[in-house]
Structure 1
Amino acid sequence: MALSGIHAFRFLLSSLPQTLTLTLTLTRSFSSTNTNPLIQTPLPKDAAQLFRFYGCDDADVSKILLRQPSLSRANLNLLQHKLDVLQRLGIAGTDLVKIVTCRPRFLSGRLGDGLHDRLLFLESLFGTREMLLKAIVRNPSLLNYDLDERIKPCLDLYEGMGISRETLARMLLSRPMIMPRSSLNDEKLDYINRTGISKESKMYKYVVSVIAISRLDTIRKKVANIEKFGFTVDEVMGLFSRTPHVLTLSVDKVQRNMTYIIGIMKLPAHIVVDYPFLLYSNLEAVLRPRFMLGRKIQEMGLEPQMNGPSLLRALRMNEPRFLRAFVTCHAEGVAKELMEFYNKAKGIKRLAQDSKVGVRMGFPF
């Protein structure tokens, strides 16, 4: 009888609608910690105590309330409800703490009506519950986005550009802000067309997404910044089609790298078309110290030297391989001298770096 009762109970659970089974998953409640079912544990007296119950330590609580002070005045019942929603989805432990600590603003918003419909749609989009949970951990605001006003229009926008929902779902894991920030107009579409990239290209989805989430004035500034080094707009967009993330680099970084490449290294500007890593490399940590070391090796008459193609290979190497190829390959005394020179070159700070005031340009880049 007991065994048949268990089977009947399992059958009952399997027959419940999916929206209801979301509420039957493992959840954490205050009363569960009490051994006497007739005595209920009282609600914490403040938000800080509530966060500690869900696994946050004192440092986490301080960070949360510093980033979102309004939570200290939030309704504790509503706040607990939002945390319980995350737990019922299967987000707990370090993932829950990560969401609350890194994105406390999410808890200030409204989950709104239609949460179950939203979850069902998102699960069908990502394919599995595990993929959905990964996406929510990356961007908890997915639980807040309106299904008809935000989620579906975004999917329609990318499908209209020839990017499937499956591809977009994978991109959302690496670029969680695609959903709220994507927009296209005639000028952005013109930029995409001028790249000359085909929809079959592996880079196409990145070209479209980077332009879609970027502000128009940001795109104009970054294109104009590369243009002034002797490129046409079509050449800039051609570079962008081969390495879409060049549009994510700041104007300052591109300008400083290009100035050093042309002015100090005496390389032609168009070399970045074939070797775009020159734009991505850190000037203070890679380009300048390695180029200076190459000059030092040349002055000392040592081999191997960094000239022509070997210079470009040296700049592209990871640090351990670079040191083996050009520093530790020499005798101990020489290697020590070269290493001291290299470390000193890496320690050269940018002019007035200590007094530099950071300017936040805003999303996305």
Structure 2
Amino acid sequence: MEVVVKAITRNPSLLTYDFHNKMKPVIATYNELGVSRKDLIPMLLSRPTLIPRTSLNDGKLDYIRKTGISKNSKMYKYVVILIAILRIETICEKLANFEKFGFSEDEVFGLFGRSPLILTLSIDKVQRNMTFILGTMKLPTSVVLGHPFLLFCNLEAVLKPRVLLARKIQDMALIPQIKGPAMLRALRMKEKRFVKAFVNCHPKDVAYELMKFYSSAKDVKRLAEAVKD
């Protein structure tokens, strides 16, 4: 009861749901699965629709088990809640989408367990990023399994321009190079830090040329959108 009162106090919209027939059973279900009441409060506040959208059956419970995630993991609550609120058809579609790129079912569920927010990514987003990662960057799927942040990267603002800049730097035989582990670190950097580390570290004339190239690579999408308009 305490968890509900706290949640309603901060988000009155929860009052639109029947407490005894809807809210209480859902909270009890999550508690039984090992999601504490303390963890439910912020979830209910950020996603009030969690109440009506929660649906768990044997198929979904099996999916949770397949992720291999421990109840002691900080990610456990996200795995349980995301699988609970997604339609089973949607989960199957997301699973099949990854399998198209060569991932096994076990690898995909393991990925969901380590980085559950991947379940919130659209199929199109995953397809575009994976196509670029495998086709242009020439990275194996194992790298994505170890570095799931690649799936969240903005393709047009981060992945493409930074990879293109890395090739430009390589063509100009400049140091430092952006390849191997350095590429993964570079993709995770904030923009200011990235520019400082790989552009502004060079003499002014070289830095100007690199920045012009980098800015141009980032503006390709804007130009394409302008043409469409």
Q: TM-score range by the shorter chain?
A: over 0.9
User: Do residues 125 (structure 1) and 24 (structure 2) align?
Assistant: no
Counterpart residue type for residue 3 of structure 2: L
Matched, 1:210 2:88: no
Partner residue in 2 for 1:327? 199
Q: 1:286 aligns with which of 158, 161, 176?
A: 158
Provide, for residues 2-31 of structure 1, a one-character-per-residue CA deviation record: whole Å limited to 9, x for no partner.
xxxxxxxxxxxxxxxxxxxxxxxxxxxxxx
Counterpart CA distance in 2 for 1:143 and 1:304 is: 58
Per-residue deviation, residues 119-172 of structure 1 (Å, max 9, x unmatched): xx5xx22565xx644333xxx2x1211111211111111012121222211322
What one-letter code is carried by the residue in structure 1 that aligns with 2:105? V
> C-alpha separation between the residues in 1 aligned to 2:141 and 2:220?
25
- Asked whether the equivalents of residues 284 and 350 of structure 1 are also in contact (C-alpha less than 8 Å), the reply is no
User: Which residue in the other structure is 1:271 paired with?
Assistant: 143
Query: Deviation of residue 355 (structure 1)?
Result: 9.3
Partner in structure 2 of residue 135 of structure 1: 11
Q: Does 1:145 align with 2:17?
A: yes
Measure how far apart 1:174 and its partner are: 3.1
Distance between the aligned counterparts of 1:330 and 1:177, measured in 2?
51
2:59 partner letter: E
On the 8 A contact 1:126/1:166 being kept in 2, the answer is no
TM-score for the superposition, normalised by structure 1: 0.59
Give the number of the structure with larger relative contact order, counting CA–CA contacts within 8 Å between residues 6 or more apart.
Answer: 2
Q: Who is 2:220 aligned against?
A: 348
Matched, 1:187 2:59: yes
Contact map agreement 1:204 1:241 (CA 8 A) in 2: yes
Maintained 8 Å contact 1:257/1:278: yes
In the alignment, which of 198, 205, 209 is matched to residue 337 of structure 1? Answer: 209
Cα distance in 1 for residues equivalent to 2:61 and 2:125: 26
Alpha-carbon shift at residue 315 of structure 1 (Å): 0.7
- Kept in 2, the 8 Å contact 1:240–1:246? The answer is yes
Matched, 1:302 2:174: yes
Change (3 A) 1:352 1:339: closer
Q: Could you tell me which residue of structure 2 aligns to residue 361 of structure 1?
A: none
TM-score, scaled to structure 2: 0.93
Offset at 1:316?
Answer: 0.8
Residue by residue, what CA displacement relative to the aligned partner does 1:182-231 show, whole Å, maximum 9, x if unpaired? 11011111111111112111111110000001011110110100011111
Determine the structure 1 residue equivalent to 2:129.
Answer: 257
Unaligned runs of 5+ in 2: none
Count of aligned residue pairs for this structure pair: 228
Task: Note if contact 1:154-1:182 (Cα within 8 Å) is conserved in structure 2.
Answer: yes
Larger radius of gyration: 1
Alpha-carbon separation, structure 2, partners of 1:305 and 1:133: 54
Q: Distance in 2 between matches of 1:352 and 1:335?
A: 26
Residue 338 of structure 1: how far off its partner (Å)? 0.8
Rounded to whole Å, the distance in 1 between the matches of 2:159 and 2:168 is: 14
Give distance in 2, aligned partners of 1:205 and 1:326: 39
* Distance in 2, Cα, partners of 1:337 & 1:344: 11
Amino acid at match of 1:252: D
Name the aligned partner's letter for residue 348 of structure 1: V
Contact 2:133 2:139 in 1 (8 A): yes
The CA RMSD over aligned residues, in Å, is 2.0
CA–CA distance in structure 2, aligned partners of residues 336 and 132 of structure 1? 55
Match of 1:171 in 2: 43
Distance 2:30 2:37 in 1: 8
Q: 1:263 corresponds to which letter in structure 2? A: G
Q: In 2, are the aligned partners of 1:183 and 1:213 still within 8 Å (CA)? A: yes
**Within 2, Cα distance between the matches of 1:343 and 1:229?**
31
TM superposition outliers: structure 1 runs of 4+ over 6 Å = none
